Structure 1
């Protein structure tokens, strides 16, 4: 029915009353001249009362309201002995250009003044929804993040460390990217490195192993992530779909953020934007930090050293299969991918030099070893072959 404004007459309490009716998108909203009209005066041009139009109107209002709820934003923070930096982090959350609907904090039995600092922020900023939960016992950061994520109700859920500082546009930027592309189930950003005194150590950090141009969006494959995690939890925004799976298929074997990224990559929903949207603080009390990410604690020139990466990847796959029944069907060519690691280990262990050379054309090989690493593999494999001759 086209938008129109018509007039018709109705009788009420023995009086003839002139009513104007505005039709908008098939709904009739009546307005009695000079007085108010109840919902019963919502009519069609025929003048016959139809309650179903009122029901339709209310239903549309509810749909609009539901659409607003889709924009709900949660922040999940796991705290433990963070009194030194947590206030600055919380203030950076409150200063976002896109307001956060709920900040959920689970404290893991801090022995310092962390809880009181949080309570002080709650009392000072009562207009913000800051919820504090204190664990009955210390459960460790992996389970603590699982706990805090289980309490989040938002459609966009940000993981948050207690000692970083968010740039003002972090939430707005990441939510806008995810809203524009519904394929994105988990989005990671890059960051600046700062020290204990807020001095910038490094202005921008590309978390991806290969070059990604500034501000570019990159889809991260499952095959890349099974080798190791490149994207810390503090850089992530996740959807309820991934959070639900994380809750159901949690495994202490994996770091919480690595498991989240793996689940998203299974359905080709793990993305990375190379834009520094927060400041990652390095200090002596980091739960994980960056220490050891580039350090190798084994002999890379030994037989076991050359097998370690493939064995670790195979072990990761087997652990994932135990907790995630969907991984085999979700990941394209999963069996072939797993078979590559089994064959790679056998080729080197048994000195099958020719087969190892041929496997260099396998795209999976490039994911776990550089050109230099593959040459080292062939040298070790040739040594094993010579011993058997």
Structure 2
């Protein structure tokens, strides 16, 4: 089994070397490191070049002609990998030494495993532990983990993504299904949803990645107080729900092309219903709060807030915020 690491970089010089060193320090080294740099203007290219010159495995570095953004950048890195398994890698984390070995064992644990994901240890800018694990913060507990490994993960992923790209890897022969990635999706959510639809998922329940939180990162996680939850809900405006609906509409189209391989025969219908629920939420954001009462109550009665969101919390946000 050949293991490829797909690393995307952009102005990451401050933390990049620690991540590169953690890849080089794996007990089972990768067979290649494929790097796509999104036209960094800091010292990132120099850090990459110095590492490549001394790395104990092949390192292939490409620089985009123009800045593409993270999703398009990961798409290019994934396409360039030659291994049997592709690991998604962020520039600012640190991998535990046994990560590649543990993931490889998980892929070998059952025929056809399509995706492996692990928990993450949330750390501060200086890698100091915060006492928080990613799956606790989602939440993604043992009962939901069992649902995912039983082949019912896509129903959970219709509600929210529990797979962090920095702690995930997928089988390269599924690449033709996940590429291209629609612009309305973040790469890890799309890959998790498509692969879980047709292939077994295995979870490594302990954290194998130190997930660094710092002010410059694009996506992170922080404990949400009530006030921050309210502020976050208010930012979910009509444009947010338009993008969400567009994403699940695109997913339904892609699923239709592989419908004979789906674990769940209802998945395409449920995906379209998920998109329709987001459209209702989008239209509610364009009217008065009084006008939201009827649509939100109908969605609650239909069970869509519990099926596709955070239940009564989501209902209250649509009705009041």
1:115 equivalenced with 2:55 (yes/no): no
SS of the residue corresponding to residue 279 of structure 1 reads strand
1:264 equivalenced with 2:195 (yes/no): yes
How does 1:335-346 map onto structure 2 within 5 Å? 336-337=269-270, 342=276
Change (3 A) 1:291 1:335: same
How does 1:85-164 map onto structure 2 within 5 Å? 85-125=15-55, 127-164=56-93
1:211 equivalenced with 2:141 (yes/no): yes
What runs of 5+ residues in structure 1 fail to find an aligned partner? 1-70, 381-389
1:366 equivalenced with 2:298 (yes/no): no
CA distance in 2, matches of 1:252, 1:336: 22
Q: Is the 8 A contact 2:71 2:187 kept in 1?
A: yes
Change (3 A) 1:371 1:157: closer
User: In the alignment, what sits opposite 2:2?
Assistant: 72
Q: Post-superposition shift, 1:320?
A: 1.9
CA distance in 2, matches of 1:310, 1:139: 23
1:319 equivalenced with 2:250 (yes/no): yes
User: In the alignment, what sits opposite 1:240?
Assistant: 172
CA distance in 2, matches of 1:253, 1:280: 24
**Whose strand proportion is higher, 1 or 2?**
1
Change (3 A) 1:223 1:259: same
Q: RMSD of the TM alignment (CA)? A: 3.7
CA distance in 1, matches of 2:39, 2:241: 38
**Whose helix proportion is higher, 1 or 2?**
2
Higher mean displacement: 349-358 or 153-162: 349-358
User: In the alignment, what sits opposite 1:189?
Assistant: 118
SS of the residue corresponding to residue 182 of structure 2 reads coil
Q: Post-superposition shift, 1:124?
A: 2.6
1:84 equivalenced with 2:14 (yes/no): yes
Change (3 A) 1:333 1:325: closer
SS of the residue corresponding to residue 208 of structure 2 reads strand
Q: Post-superposition shift, 1:326?
A: 2.1
TM, length-normalised to structure 1: 0.66
Q: With CA pairs under 8 Å and 6+ residues apart, which has the higher RCO, 1 or 2? A: 2
CA distance in 2, matches of 1:109, 1:354: 48
> Rg bigger for which structure?
1
User: In the alignment, what sits opposite 1:23?
Assistant: none
Q: Post-superposition shift, 1:350?
A: 8.6
CA distance in 2, matches of 1:292, 1:323: 34
Q: Is the 8 A contact 2:4 2:87 kept in 1?
A: yes
CA distance in 2, matches of 1:124, 1:297: 44
Match of 1:280 among 211, 214, 224: 211
SS of the residue corresponding to residue 221 of structure 1 reads helix
Q: Post-superposition shift, 1:285?
A: 1.1
What runs of 5+ residues in structure 2 fail to find an aligned partner? 282-290
User: In the alignment, what sits opposite 1:169?
Assistant: 98
TM, length-normalised to structure 2: 0.78
Change (3 A) 1:290 1:376: closer
CA distance in 2, matches of 1:335, 1:108: 34
1:334 equivalenced with 2:267 (yes/no): yes
User: In the alignment, what sits opposite 2:130?
Assistant: 201
SS of the residue corresponding to residue 121 of structure 2 reads strand
CA distance in 1, matches of 2:79, 2:255: 18
Q: Post-superposition shift, 1:210?
A: 3.8
Residues 88-111 of structure 1: per-residue CA shift (max 9 Å, x gap): 111110111112110111111110
SS of the residue corresponding to residue 217 of structure 2 reads coil
Q: Is the 8 A contact 1:185 1:239 kept in 2?
A: yes
